[in-house]
Structure 1
Amino acid sequence: MTEQNPLLSQNGGSTPQIPEDLAIEIRKLAHDLSNALEIIVQTSYLLSTTEMKEPASDWLRMLDGGVQKALDLNGALRNYIKTHSPS
C-alpha cells in the first residue's frame, strides 16, 4: 500500500500544499521578516548617500550585496508560500 502525503493538494497531488494553520503562521513570520529587512534596506540606502572613506565604503558594498541576497531569498520564500498554501 502507498501512503498519501498529507501535504499534497487535492488537485491530483501534483502541487505540495502547506496546511492552512501552518501557512498562516509562516505568512506572519515572512511579513515580520519583510518589515525587518525594510529597516536594513533603508539604512543601507541612507548610508550610500553619504561619503565614506575606505574601508567603510568596502563594508557598505558588502552590506549592499547581503541586502540584495536577503531580499531575493525573502521574495523566493514569499512566492513559495503563496504557491504552496491555500488561498
Structure 2
Amino acid sequence: MTDQISRPGTQPSQNDNSQSQIPEDLAVEIRKLAHDLSNALEIIVQTSYLLSTTEMKEPASDWLRMLDGGVQKALDLNISLRNYIKAHSPT
C-alpha cells in the first residue's frame, strides 16, 4: 500500500504513521525543501496581498482573483505536505 499526502483539513491516521516512516536523513532533506517552499510561497502571498490593495481594471482584477485562488491552494498543499512530513518522520 502506498502512502498518500492528506488533503487540506485532514490528518493522517495513527495507522498511517506506524506503517511507514521516512528515513531520518531523507526527512531532514524533505524538511529543508518544505521550508524553502514556504519561503517562496510567502513572497507570492505578500505580492498577491499588495496587488489586492491597488485598483485594477478588468481583466487584471480577474487575474488577481485567479492568483488568489492558486495561492490558497498552494498554501493548503504546503500545510498538508508539512503535516505529512511531521507525521511520518522520526522525532
Q: Shorter-chain-normalised TM-score: which range?
A: 0.7 to 0.9
Structure 1 partner of 2:14? none
Q: Deviations over 1:28-65 (max 9, x none)?
A: 00000000000000000000000100000000000000
Structure 2 partner of 1:19? 23
Query: What is the CA RMSD across the aligned residues, in angstroms?
Result: 1.1
Deviation at 1:14, TM superposition (A): 3.1
TM superposition score normalised by structure 2: 0.80
Structure 2 partner of 1:57? 61
Structure 2 partner of 1:82? 86
TM superposition score normalised by structure 1: 0.84
Deviation at 1:20, TM superposition (A): 0.1
Structure 2: unaligned runs, 5 residues or longer = 1-16
Q: How does 1:26-45 map to 2 (within 5 A)?
A: 26-45=30-49
Q: Percent identity?
A: 89
Q: Using the alignment, how far apart are the partners of 2:52 and 2:20 within structure 1?
A: 42
What count of residue pairs does the alignment treat as equivalent? 75
